[in-house]
């Protein structure tokens, strides 16, 4: 299995012979063999030239880069080697057909809501007393079934998220990570810093998996498609931010893996420092490799593989083979 590489230092990334070479601003030098690299994550500021970019494209290596808030900034996405004109046509047709687009948009929200309920019920069994929140979200889920436009669907999704976020203080046992309100660009407290960082990772994991399919990441159905940014990964991420991201956040905080020492104040907000990022990424890599039972295949698959399987289901839906149903976790 190919691996992900993470770069935290500022410096220069270049091609050297048949491999990559990184030199930090402090003078540290490192060769990066490319044979087993799937993607590179850049959290520091570094220079890269066209020679190195062409080499990444040749080796089909994706480069994700993040800004100083740990917020996803963009991706160097090599020419799609699985590109399919037929699949792109089917995506566009589904996007332009109001009913087909609404169906998929609601399915992504449905998946997010169902997994939200799974999380709350999991903690409800552990004496968190979420009966009222579960009931409120269940009612919103029933409302979603009757909605006939995407804007109203997204308002329901927003209402569900608000209820869900307000449950965090019963799930998280560390006082330094209490939830007040969701803040972004920059995050204003420790918890929001983690949420933003982990969500950004989920977006990039989904994007990397899209690259291995015939789908075009620019054509989404729930999030606006404008061809200037990727949107399909945002759609699919709605399901996996909860399944993979949020439960990892609870684990990192409740087990004391992340503490106040893992953060720093910067640019008017709070971000993870390098030590904090490394701790999150170490546990995230382990989580992505963990396996869960996948009923349809009657076997265990990794969390990362779940993302790919979700994309395959979407492909089958678009070409008329099988109606799309979002993944729901079994806990």
227 CB neighbour count, 10 Å cutoff: 9
Give the pLDDT mean for 173-178. 92
Percent pLDDT > 70 in the chain is 96
Same fold, 3-66 and 85-318: no
CATH number of 85-318: 1.20.120.920
pTM: 0.90
Q: Among 33-37, 240-244, 252-256, 323-327, which is the least confidently predicted range?
A: 33-37
- Residue 227 pLDDT > 60: no
Q: Kindly report the length of the chain.
A: 331
The pLDDT of residue 230 is 85
- Residue 82 pLDDT > 80: no
Please list, in sequence order, all residues whose beta carbon lies within 8 angstroms of the beta carbon of residue 166, skipping any fewer than 6 positions away: 133, 179
Most confident of 13-27, 64-78, 270-284: 270-284
Element (H, E) at 303: helix 303-318
CATH number of 3-66: 3.100.10.20
More confident residue, 316 or 211: 316
- Residue 226 pLDDT > 70: no
Q: Where are the domains of the chain?
A: 3-66, 85-318
How do strand 72-76 and strand 29-32 relate by DSSP bridges?
unpaired
The pLDDT of residue 105 is 96
Average per-residue pLDDT in the chain?
A: 91
Give dist(CA 249, CA 1) in Å, integer.
25
Give the pLDDT mean for 79-84. 68
Q: Report residue 73's pLDDT band, with 50, 70 and 90 as the boundaries.
A: confident
């Amino acid at each position: 299995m190919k691996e992900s590489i993470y770069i935290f230092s500022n410096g220069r990334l270049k091609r050297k012979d048949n491999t990559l070479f990184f030199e930090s601003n402090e003078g540290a030098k490192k060769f990066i063999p490319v044979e087993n690299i799937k993607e590179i994550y850049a959290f520091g500021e570094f220079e890269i030239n066209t020679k190195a970019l062409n080499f990444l494209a040749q080796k089909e290596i994706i480069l994700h880069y993040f800004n100083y808030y740990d917020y996803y900034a963009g991706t160097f996405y090599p020419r799609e080697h699985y590109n399919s004109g037929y699949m792109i046509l089917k995506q566009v047709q589904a996007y332009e057909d109001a009913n087909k687009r609404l169906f998929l948009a609601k399915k992504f929200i449905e998946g997010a809501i169902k997994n939200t309920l799974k999380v709350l019920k999991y903690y409800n069994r552990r004496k968190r007393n979420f009966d009222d929140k579960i009931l409120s979200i269940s009612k919103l889920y029933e409302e979603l079934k009757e909605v006939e436009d995407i804007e109203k669907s997204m308002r329901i999704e927003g209402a569900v998220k608000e209820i869900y976020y307000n449950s965090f203080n019963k799930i998280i046992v560390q006082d330094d990570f209490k939830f007040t309100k969701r803040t972004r660009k920059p995050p204003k407290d420790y918890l929001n810093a983690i949420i933003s960082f982990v969500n950004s990772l989920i977006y990039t994991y989904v994007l990397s998996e899209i690259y291995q399919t015939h789908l075009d990441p620019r054509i989404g159905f729930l999030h606006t498609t404008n061809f200037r940014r990727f949107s399909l990964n945002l759609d699919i991420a709605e399901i996996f931010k909860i399944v993979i991201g949020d439960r990892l956040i609870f684990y990192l905080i409740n087990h004391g893996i992340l503490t106040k020492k893992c953060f720093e104040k910067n640019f008017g907000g709070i971000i993870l420092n390098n030590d904090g990022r490394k701790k999150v990424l170490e546990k995230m890599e382990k989580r992505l490799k963990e396996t869960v039972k996948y009923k349809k295949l009657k076997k265990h698959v990794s969390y990362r593989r779940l993302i790919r399987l979700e994309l395959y289901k979407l492909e089958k839906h678009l070409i008329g083979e099988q109606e799309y149903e979002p993944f729901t976790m079994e806990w």
